[in-house]
Amino acid sequence: MTIQEAIVKRHSVRQYLDKPIETDIIDELQAMTHQLNKESGLHIQLVTNDPKAFDSTMAHYGKFTNVRNYFAMIGKDDDTLDERLGYYGEQLVLRAQMLGLNTCWVGLSYKKNPDVITVEKGEKLRCVISLGYGANQGYSHKIKTMEKVTKVEGVMPDWFRKGVESALLAPTAINQQKFLFSLKNERQVQAKAGWGFFSKVDLGIVKYHFEVGAGKENFDWIR
């Protein structure tokens, strides 16, 4: 499965099979987590075989079942944390999908288990991403129109359209899709988050999707 196919096939999955993830797949995801942490300065941790984080009334209310594996999304608590967690976490989500696994970003319905994660002084556990073999493959979410999430000077280039299409398939908290991609001077792209619950994490996620869809060689990000 290519990363573009993973973007199309991925949906949030909240119910998992009682089936352990193979060691070689865990090893690959651990190695990728270390690599991304090195690149970003984040402290993301892959936790396996911990049923406790999703063993609460809140998790059951959120319809999560059989969650034993997850990425704990941790990093130094500053203004850039949310966007970076989104950008790097979504790389893990798409890789997991390519490896035949399913995921769900979770901002609320989990419980912090200090026995299995390390949150250093000055760091924050912001959210988690559940991971496992889905009991289903999830469902397509409602998608906003291109016009609602873009601002373009002149004609919209093909690469920009593909980038936005890819961003519109991304997970966002409560499917809010509160982002705006603006194109300036032919190849400068600005991505802004609207106001909302976890909207900066969403921004990092959709920026990664945009890069995959548009091709990084076609544009430059501007602030």
Ligand X SMILES: Cc1cc2nc3c(=O)[nH]c(=O)nc-3n(C[C@H](O)[C@H](O)[C@H](O)COP(=O)(O)O)c2cc1C
Query: What residues make contact with ligand X under the rule CB under 6 A?
Result: 11-12, 14, 62, 104-109, 127, 138, 141, 171-175, 198, 201-202, 205
In the complex, minimum distance from the CB of residue 142 to ligand X, in angstroms, rounded to a whole number = 9
In the complex, minimum distance from the CB of residue 201 to ligand X, in angstroms, rounded to a whole number = 4
Q: Please identify the residue of the shown chain whose CB is closest to the bound ligand X.
A: 171
Comparing CB distances to ligand X, the nearer of 64 and 219 is 64
- Which residue matches tokens 């919209």? 156
Tokens matching residue 124: 């924050």
Task: Give dist(CA 22, CA 107) in Å, integer.
Answer: 26
Comparing CB distances to ligand X, the nearer of 156 and 197 is 197
Comparing CB distances to ligand X, the nearer of 45 and 130 is 130
In the complex, minimum distance from the CB of residue 141 to ligand X, in angstroms, rounded to a whole number = 4
Cα dihedral sign, 207-16-98-110: positive
Secondary structure of 184-209 in HEC code, one letter for each residue: ECCCEEEEEECCCCCHHHHHHHHHHH
Task: Give dist(CA 109, CA 215) in Å, integer.
Answer: 35
In the complex, minimum distance from the CB of residue 178 to ligand X, in angstroms, rounded to a whole number = 11
Comparing CB distances to ligand X, the nearer of 134 and 163 is 134
